Amino acid sequence: MESEQTMGQLNFAQLLRIPFQALVTELHERLVTHGYADILPTHTIIFALVGTEGMRLSDLAKRTQLTKQLLNYIVTAVEERGYVERLPDPLDGRGKIVRLTERGQQAAQVGREIIESIEREWVASLGLEDMRELRSLLERLVGVLGQHHTRSLLPE
């Protein structure tokens, strides 16, 4: 009964954040078992947005809504671990392109597989129809929010 009262007291932001945080926590616990103990939750945004083509550091800062200084700190940490590299921007000699290394691509693939596994476990807990409905509603919400609000959060 108490858990029902607690659930009724959660606001909308908490209802969105708690499952997300649970997913991130589980993702990182499993990454450790796959040999990626050096990837921290703060690094997740880099893997979510940077691909093999790379992205300008300034564009990455805009998309993550982090200061350039903080983003540079995070990218440096991920770079020191061998997951990304910085290359000169061919369009702007002053700029840098951040892209996943081969090791980064492998880690990103393992991360995607772990997330798919977690989703399957949630299907087993909630049931297929409820999970489909949850996914459908979240996809509709993303669509309603439109490109203006969600574009920076989606991978390119």
Query: What is the total count of domains within the chain?
Result: 1
Domain-embedded: residue 1: no
Edge-to-edge, what's the strand order for the sheet holding 84-89?
55-56, 92-100, 84-89
Task: Render pLDDT for 78-131 as a digit per residue (tens, 0 to 9).
Answer: 999 999 999 998 888 788 899 999 999 999 999 999 999 999 999 999 999 999
Domain-embedded: residue 5: no
> What does the alpha-carbon distance between residue 117 and residue 54 come to, in Å, rounded to a whole number?
27
pTM of the model: 0.82
104, 60, 61: which is closest to 80 by C-alpha?
104
Residue 146 above 90 pLDDT? no
Show the DSSP H helices in 43-154 as ranges.
44-49, 57-64, 68-80, 102-126, 128-150
Domain-embedded: residue 19: yes
Tokens 């939750």 -> residue: 41
Domain-embedded: residue 2: no
Domain-embedded: residue 4: no
Domain-embedded: residue 118: yes
Domain-embedded: residue 72: yes
Q: What is the pLDDT of residue 95?
A: 82
Domain-embedded: residue 85: yes
Domain of 36: which CATH number? 1.10.10.10
Q: What is the pLDDT of residue 108?
A: 95
Range of the domain at 146: 11-153
